[in-house]
Structure 1
Amino acid sequence: MSKPRLFIHLRDPELAEKLLQSPAVRQFVIIKSSDSSAWSEQLQQQECDLAVIESDECDNDDYQRLLVSKILTEIDFIFISSGTPNELLDTLMRRGAGYHFRAPLDFGSVIDTLQDFYQQLSTERKQVKATSSELDQFGMLVGSSKPMLKLYRTIRKVAITEANVLIVGESGAGKELVANTLHLASLRADKPFVAINCGALSPELIDSELFGHIKGAFTGAHRDHQGVFAQAEGGTLFLDEITEMPIEQQVKLLRVLENGEYRPVGSDKTFTANVRIAAATNRDPMHAIAEDMLREDLYFRLAQFPVAVPSLRDRDEDIIGLAQHFLAYRNVQEQQSKQFSAEAQTLIATHSWPGNVRELKHAVERAYILADNTIEPEHLLLDEPHIDANDDSVADAIPTGVRLDELEKAAILRTLAKNGGNKTDTAQQLGVSVKTLYNKLEKYQLER
C-alpha cells in the first residue's frame, strides 16, 4: 500500500526545517514546491492528498486558481498565515478547503492535525484496496473518488461536535444524504432525523410548521400540532433550501438559534430546543445574502461549519460505479440480472449530468423499466435536445388556440416528470419560487 502524499510550500526556512524533521511529516511521501511556477499550478500537476501552504499577501492569484479548479474538492489544505485578513482565503475556508492556522503559530496543533490526516488517509487507502471492485460507502453516501473521500473526512470531523452545519451544493448532488450521514455519524444517531423544505413553507403557517400550535390557536387548528423542532427533539433538524424561506420569516428561525427557546402558536408555555441544525442551499450563500435571500446574521448562525458537496462532474471516476450501484439495487429488488451494454456505459461516462446524482439515478431507473435484459443507450433517454427558452423555435413549437392555463399546466407536468418529481429543480427551471409551484400544483390539483 502506497503512502499518502504531502505537498509542502513554506517560505520560512526555519519553519520548513522544523516541519520536515517531524516524525508526523516523515510518514508521508513529501513533495516540495519549487520556484519554477506558482504553487497552485504545481498542485494541479502533482498527485497528492494534502497540502501545507505558508501563504502571504502575494498569493491571491493562487487562491483564485484554487477556487475555479477541481483540486479544491479533491485534497485538503493546511494554510499558515500571518493572520492578515484576506477575503479570498476566507472564501476558500467556507468552501471547505481545510485548516487555517494564524500567527503566533501553535506548532503542536499543526503536527496533531497532520497526524490526524495521515491516519485517515492511510485507513481510506486500505479500504479502497480491499474493495477495489466496488464503490466505498459512508453512511448514506456512495463513492470512492478523491472528492468523496475528502467529504467523508469532513463529515467525520464535524459529526461528533454540536456545531450547526450549512451544506452547499448543486441540486441533485446529495445534500440531504450528507445531512442524514452527518446525523448517523453523530452522538444523536439514536434520535430523530427530521427534514423540511423551507421553500414549501406557507408564510402564514410557518410558525406552526416550525414550532407547532395548540388546538384553537387559529381557524382550522382543530387539534394540537407538533412543529419540527419538537419532532426532532434530541436529534437533527434538516432545513433544506434555506434560502427559499421568505427573508422576513427567517428572523423567527434566528431567534430560536440565538436563545434556544420557542413557543407553539397560541401557547403561553416556552420550550427549549434540543436539536442539531443542518441547513442546505444550492445557491452561493454570499450571493444569496447580497440578493436579500438570506439574512447575514442567520448565515453565521447556520454556518458554524460549512460543508461543500461535490457535483457529479467533479467526481467523474464515480459515475460508472454509481450507475452500477443503482442498477444492482434494482436488480435485487426485482430479482433480475439486467446489465449495461458497453455502449450504454460509454454514454453514461461521457454525459455531462447537469442534474448530478439524482439525474443519474432517474436515468438508470427509467432504463431499467424500458430494457429487457440489456440496457442500451436508447433506454437511458439522454439524447433529448436542449431547448433554449430565448430561441424563436420555442415559440414556433407552441400550438395556437390553446388556453394559457392548459399550456402552463402542461409545462409544469412535463418539467416535473423530467425532474423525477423534484419540485425545487422544477421551480428553478420554470423561473418561479417553490411556493408558487406548490400553489400552481394545488390550483391544477396536480399534487399527487
Structure 2
Amino acid sequence: MSQPLLFLHVQDPELTTQLLQSDIVRRFVICKSQPDECWVEQMLRQSCDLALIEMDNPAPAQYELLQQSHVLSEIDFILISKGIPDLALDQLMRCGAGYHFRQPLDMNSVLDAVQDCYRQLSTVVVKRKVQTSDLDQFGLLVGSSAAMLRLYKTVRKVAVTEANVFIIGESGAGKELVANTVHLASHRADKPFVAINCGALSSELIDSELFGHVKGSFTGALRDHQGVFAQAEQGTLFLDEVTEMPLEQQVKLLRVLESGEYRPVGSNKVCMANVRVIAATNRDPLQAVADGILREDLYFRLSQFPVKVPPLREREADITGLAQHFLAYCNAREKQQKQLSDAALSLVAQHKWPGNVRELKHAVERAFIMADKLIEPHHLLLEVATSVEAVADIPADMPLDELEKAAIFAALERNCGNKTDTAQQLGISVKTLYNKLEKYQQES
C-alpha cells in the first residue's frame, strides 16, 4: 500500500519542526501549504488522507469553502486552535472535523491522534457546537485527561466495526455523547441516529415505540406509526437505560438482535432490521442480571463490546477545564465576557460532582445567570445545595429559567424576604431582582 498523504497547514515554525521530526509524521507523504495561495484550495486539489490544520485567524471565506466541499466527510482532520470561542470554527466542526486540540499543545496527544489516523483512517463527523478554552475534543466528547484520551482510542477502534456496544457509566457522565460519537465515527454516520430512553416508555406503548404499529391496531392508533427500529434503518439505535426495560420486551428485543426480524403491532408483515444497536445503563449490568431485571442472554448479546465511561471524579485534570469550557460556551452564546474567580475554580476542583459532567454544566450555567461579571463561589450554589433543602430538591435537568426562579425564591426565603440581602447574596443588583420578581408575577 502506498504511503498516505498528509496535508500540513501550520504557520508556527516551531510546531512545524516538531511535527516534521516525528517518526509517525514521517510515515506520511507530506504536502505543505504555500503562503501565496488559499490553503483550502490547495488542500482540495490533493487526494490527502489526513489534514493537520492550524486555525490561525482563518477567513470566513475559507470556512465557507470547506463547508461547501465534501472533503470534511471524506478525510480525517486534526485542527489546532488558540482555544478562543469561535462560532464559525464550531460550525466547521459540526460539518466534519474530528480532533480539535487547543493550545498550549500536548504534542504527545497530537502525535497519538496522527498515529490513530495512520493506523485506521476513517470518517469522523462532528455535529455538536462547542465553545471551549483549552480542552481537546474527539467527536462529541471533550477532555484532555488520560482517561478521556483512552476513551477516544477505544471509541475510534470500535466505531468502524459492526459490533453491538454496551456503554456503562454513571448518570450524567456522557453515555449518550459516547453513543453518538460511535455513530458519527462509523460507516453509518450519514444515516439516522435514534435514541430512546427505555425507562421512560410506558408498558402499554413500548411495543409500538420499538416496532411501530398499523392504523386501528389498538384504541387511539389513528394512523400507521414507525417504531425506532424502522426510524433508525441503516443507522444506529441507542437504547438508553436498557436495564429498565420490562422483561417481556427484553425477550422481543433479543429476538430482533438474534434474527433481525420484528413485526409492527397489528401487522402480519415481518420486517428485517438493519441497525447497529448501542445500549447503555447506569447500573452494574452483571448485578442487574443477578437481580433478575436484565436477561443474561440479552446482556451477552448487547455487550459484544463493553465501553466504560469514566465518572468526572476520575477525570480530575478535566474538571476546571470543563468549567471554563461551559462558561466559554455561555459567553459566546450571550456575547458576554464573564469569568470564574480563582476561589470559584478552587471550589469547582474540590467538589465531588456526584452528578458528573451534567451537574457541572448546570452549575456553571446557573452561576452565569447569577453573576454580573465575575463568578464567585456563592454563584455556583454548591454549598447551598448541600445545606438548603429548597435548592437541594431542584432536579438536575430543570431548564435554566426555572433554576434561576427557584434559586431566587430560595434566597428570598433564607433572607426572610429582604430583597437587598437577597440581591447581594445572588450577586445581582436590587433593580435586577425587582425586575425578575415582576416578571414572575406577570407569568403567574
Q: Quote the residue 2:428 is aligned against.
A: none
Determine whether 1:150 maps to 2:139: no
Alpha-carbon distance between aligned partners in 1 of 2:386 and 2:347, rounded to the nearest angstrom: 17
Cα distance in structure 2, aligned partners of 1:295 and 1:180:
25
Question: Displacement, 1:121?
Answer: 8.4
Paired residue type of 1:294: L
Judge conservation of contact 1:173–1:312 (CA < 8 Å) in 2.
yes
* Fraction of identical pairs, as percent: 70
Q: Give the Cα–Cα distance (whole angstroms) in 2 for the partners of residues 283 and 213 of structure 1.
A: 31
Match of 1:206, as an amino acid? I
CA distance in 2, matches of 1:374, 1:124: 36
* Matches for 1:241-260 after TM superposition, within 5 Å: 241-260=241-260
The answer on whether the counterparts of 1:147 and 1:310 sit within 8 Å (CA) in structure 2 is yes
Contact 1:344 1:377 in 2 (8 A): yes
Equivalent residues in 2 for 1:183-332 (5 A)? 183-332=183-332
Contact 2:133–2:328 at 8 Å: present in 1 too? no
- Tell me the secondary structure at the aligned position of residue 382 of structure 2: coil
Instruction: Give the alignment of 1:90-105 within 5 angstroms.
Output: none
What residue ranges of structure 2 are gaps of 5+ in the alignment? 1-14, 16-23, 25-107, 117-131, 400-444
- 1:6-61 per-position Cα deviation (integer Å, ceiling 9, x unaligned): xxxxxxxxxxxxxxxxxx9xxxxxxxxxxxxxxxxxxxxxxxxxxxxxxxxxxxxx
Contact 1:211 1:227 in 2 (8 A): yes
Cα gap change, 1:310/1:248 in structure 2, threshold over 3 Å: closer, same or farther? same
Partner of 2:293, secondary structure, is coil
Give per-residue Cα distances to partners, 1:159-189, cap 9 Å, x unaligned: 0000000000011000000000000000000
SS of equivalent to 2:383: coil
Amino acid at match of 1:419: A
C-alpha separation in 2, matches of 1:333 and 1:207: 40
In 1: Cα distance, 2:360 partner to 2:392 partner = 18
2:315 partner SS: helix
1:123 to 101, 112, 116: 112
Alignment partner, residue 166 of structure 2 = 166
Residue type of the alignment partner of 2:397: G
The residue type paired with residue 186 of structure 1 is S
What is the letter of the counterpart of residue 353 of structure 1? W
CA distance in 2, matches of 1:249, 1:212: 14
Secondary structure of the corresponding residue to residue 269 of structure 2: coil
Could you tell me how far 1:120 is from its partner in structure 2?
8.5
Task: Report the CA distance between 1:249 and its aligned residue.
Answer: 2.0
| C-alpha deviation, 1:124, in angstroms | 4.1
Supply the RMSD in Å over aligned alpha carbons. 2.7
1:407-426 to 2 correspondences below 5 Å = 415=393, 417-421=394-398
Corresponding position: 1:372 with 2:372: yes
Maintained 8 Å contact 1:169/1:175: yes
CA distance 1:385–1:266, shift in 2 (3 Å): closer
Amino acid at match of 1:250: Q
Amino acid in the other structure paired with 2:298: L
Aligned counterpart, 1:439: none
Cα distance between partner residues in 1 of 2:222 and 2:252: 24
Counterpart amino acid of 2:112?
T
Matches of 1:362 and 1:335, distance apart in 2: 19
The equivalent residue for 1:104 is: none
Tell me the TM-score normalized by structure 1.
0.59
